[in-house]
Amino acid sequence: MARGSSHHVAVVPDRPHRQSGVAVSLFRSLRPEQWSKNLLVFAGLLFARRLFDLPSVLTALAAFTIFCALSGTVYLVNDIADRESDRTHPLKSRRPIASGRVPITLAFGTAVTLAVSALLGAVALGWRFALVAGGYLALNIMYSMVLKHVVILDVLTIAIGFVLRASAGAIAIDVEISHWLFVCTILLALFISLAKRRHELVLLATGAKDHRPILDEYSSYLLDQMITITAGASLIAYVLYTISPENAEKFGSPWMDLTIPFPIYGIFRYLYLVHRRDGGGSPSDLLLSDFPLLACVVSWAAAVVVIIYLRP
């Protein structure tokens, strides 16, 4: 009878596969799905009627790329700082740094490289743009380290970050920064930031303060009051903007008020998703996943282009 023999085959780790897995996880840590927030950089291009001016478009694209790099830097720094608390979160525990798929040293080195590269690129677009870009980076690092633990200042800092994006886009193509741009942007950003806080508070329930201590300073009732105020103020500011005589003269068209229904529907839809669908945790994901909300934003942008650019 033949004697059976067993063969042990050594399993060699697939190093290239592991390295590519780390690379993919590192890229995910930059949160490219959140880069849609940087589209605010193009606001100046749109409202300054430079949308079809090729040099301005290329400059705005460069500014957008720089802010995507800065955003990625901020997300890396934030995830490094929050890795311990993220591990207790039902969703954030899956993040590459919190889960251990991306080493801290690699994440930190990538953050430094991205920051330096982005700031050098910003200098190439002009010292004023570089000043705003550097201010955006410094403000967000301060947020990750300190300001996110200070009630009210936490959401206000996020809102100012949106204003800096919009301002940087106008500075990059050398157009005037409208006071309407500042008012409408900061109010809408505050509305979205407060809705995000409310989502975190409801999602984490009694464990909210253990994950993010600042949530202990808020309540659903308080956040609902703040959300109501900022939602109403955002709509009023936009309505005043559209009927402003100075803007009618600037655009050569009195029809901007025809776009008012879009932000009304958009804000109401967002409130519906926050209160009835438990949305609001990630504004970018919410925008891309909810077709009615996405259609509203795209339709608003199309209407603005038609009114501003196809005037009689």
pLDDT tens by residue, 168-202: 999 999 998 888 888 999 999 999 999 988 888 88
Instruction: Quick: pLDDT tens for 111-142.
Output: 999 999 999 999 999 999 999 999 999 999 99
What is the CATH class of 26-175? Answer: mainly alpha
Instruction: Quick: pLDDT tens for 202-221.
Output: 877 666 556 667 888 888 89
CB-based contact 278:203 (threshold 8 Å)? yes
CB atoms inside a 10 Å sphere around CB 196: 20
Instruction: Quick: pLDDT tens for 77-95.
Output: 988 887 877 777 777 777 8
CB-based contact 92:130 (threshold 8 Å)? no
Q: How far is CA 110 from CA 26, 113, 114, 158, 243, in A?
A: 9, 5, 6, 23, 47
Instruction: Quick: pLDDT tens for 159-169.
Output: 999 999 999 99
Question: Cα(157)–Cα(152) distance, rounded to whole angstroms?
Answer: 9
Reading the block at residue 285, the tokens are: 């994901």
CB-based contact 60:173 (threshold 8 Å)? yes
Determine the pLDDT at residue 5: 45
Question: Cα(210)–Cα(183) distance, rounded to whole angstroms?
Answer: 34
Q: pLDDT band at residue 9, thresholds of 50, 70 and 90?
A: very low
Q: pLDDT band at residue 152, thresholds of 50, 70 and 90?
A: very high
CB atoms inside a 10 Å sphere around CB 27: 14
Tokens 């080195």 label which residue? 109
CB atoms inside a 10 Å sphere around CB 205: 7
- Count of all residues that appear for the chain in the document: 312
Q: pLDDT band at residue 43, thresholds of 50, 70 and 90?
A: very high
What is the pLDDT of the chain when averaged over all its residues? 86
Question: Cα(300)–Cα(307) distance, rounded to whole angstroms?
Answer: 11
Closest CA to 111 of 83, 62, 74: 74
CB-count burial class (<10 Å; 0-12, 13-18, 19+) for 74? buried
Reading the block at residue 237, the tokens are: 């500011």
Statement: residue 16 has pLDDT above 80? no
Helix/strand/coil (H/E/C) assignment for every residue in the chain = CCCCCCCCCCCCCCHHHHHHHHHHHHHHHCCHHHHHHHHHHHHHHHHCCCCCCHHHHHHHHHHHHHHHHHHHHHHHHHHHHCHHHHCCCCCHHHCHHHHCCCCHHHHHHHHHHHHHHHHHHHHHCCHHHHHHHHHHHHHHHHHHHCHHHCCCHHHHHHHHHHHHHHHHHHHHCCCCCCHHHHHHHHHHHHHHHHHHHHHHHHHHHHHHHHHCHHHHHCCHHHHHHHHHHHHHHHHHHHHHHHHCHHHHHHHCCCCHHHHCHHHHHHHHHHHHHHHHCCCCCCHHHHHHHCHHHHHHHHHHHHHHHHHHHCCC
Determine the pLDDT at residue 1: 44
Q: What is the pTM of this model?
A: 0.84
Determine the pLDDT at residue 210: 61
